[in-house]
Amino acid sequence: MSKLLNKLEQLSHIDPNLQGRLDLQNVGIVGQSFGGNTALILAGATLQMQNLKARCQTFQDSLNPSLLLKCEAAQLPQLPSHLSDPRIKAAIAINSFNSAIFGRAGLSQIRVPTMIVASSADMLAPALPEQIQPFTWLTTPKKYLVMMTGATHFSALASSPNEAVPVLPFLVGTNPALIHQYIKALNVAFFKTYLMNQQHYHSYLSAGYAKAISQLPVQLAMVKKLSTSDLSQKLEDRLCLSLRAFCFCLYLLLFWRRYWSNYSKVYSLKKTRTAKFAKEGQIFR
C-alpha cells in the first residue's frame, strides 16, 4: 500500500489528469477480513508475532476458529513490527482478525481515528474475541465500534464478475445490498469528518443515526466507548439472562411433566372407572 501511494505521488507530478487532484498526505483506508488487518497496520497497529506463535501453540484449547487462519501467518519470515504509513489519517477495519495478531500491545499504538465493524454471524472472525474485545484495547480517543446483527463474514463483500471463487449465498447471508448501504453511509460520514474536516458529518457518527437507518433483517448499532468492565458486565448480564431463561424453561418443563403426569393418572382412573361401570351395566342388563 505504501508503494502504491508512492507511485501515485510520482504520477501526480507528471500526469496532468492527476495534478492537484490527490491529497496523498491525508489518506483514508478501508479493509475487510485480512484487508482490515492491513488497514490497522497502516494506521499504526504493530504486529505481535511472538504472541501469535504462543497462541498457536495452544490452539487445541481455543474455541476461536479464526486462529486456524491466523496461525498460517506465524509461519511467515520475520516481519518488521512497525509497518505504519504516516499518510494514513483514518482507518476502517471490517471483520478483521485482531486478537492474536495485534493484541492489546499492538492496537494501543494506533493514534488516528479508527472504526471497527463486526458481524454477529461471523464464524471466521467471531465478533466478541476478534472485534468487540479488541475495540477496548484502542487508545485513540476517536474510535467507533459498529455491530451488524445478522451479517456474516462475507456480507460486506460486493460480488464481482471476475472473482475466482464465488461466495455461496448462504455464506453471504441475507440482504447483502442493505449491508453495502450501511458501509457506504459509514464511510462517507467517517471520512468526511476526519479526512475533509467537514464537521457537520460528525453527527452521523452516532448511535442515534445508526439506529435511525437500521432496518430488518440486518440491524445496525454503534458505540464510541466500551471499557473492559462494561464488557464484563454485559457478558455477565447476558449470561445471567441466559441462565434465567434456561431456569424458566426448565421450570416450565418440570411443571408440564408434573401436570401431564397428574393428568395421565386422572385420565387413566376415569377410563378405568368408565370401563368398570360399563361392565357392571352390562351385567345388570
The domain that holds 129 is classified in CATH as: 3.40.50
pTM: 0.78
Residues 206 and 261 in one domain: no
Residue with cell 479493509: 31
Last residue of a domain, one of 194, 211, 226: 226
Q: How many domains does the chain have?
A: 2
Residue-level pLDDT, tens digit, the chain, 285 residues: 899 999 999 998 899 998 889 999 999 999 999 999 999 999 999 999 888 888 888 765 466 778 877 887 777 777 777 899 999 999 999 999 998 899 999 999 999 999 999 999 998 899 999 999 999 999 999 999 999 999 999 999 887 767 666 777 878 888 999 999 999 999 999 999 999 999 999 999 999 999 999 999 999 999 999 876 666 555 445 444 444 444 554 555 555 556 555 555 555 555 565 555 555 555 444
Q: How far is CA 206 from CA 115, 211, 239, 268, in A?
A: 12, 9, 27, 63
Q: Which residues of 261-274 are buried (b: 16+ CB within 10 A; e: fewer)?
A: eeeeeeeeeeeeee
- Verify that 220 and 270 share a domain, yes or no: no
Pairing label, strands 27-32, 114-119 = unpaired
Q: Which domain holds residue 116?
A: 2-226
Calpha distance 90→1 (Å, rounded): 14
* Bond prior to 217 in cis (omega within 30° of 0): yes
The rounded distance, in Å, linking the Cα atoms of 115 and 120 is 16
Query: Do 124 and 172 share a structural domain?
Result: yes
Same domain assignment for residues 8 and 142: yes
**Whether residue 222 is found in the same domain as residue 236:** no
200, 226, 252 - which closes a domain: 226
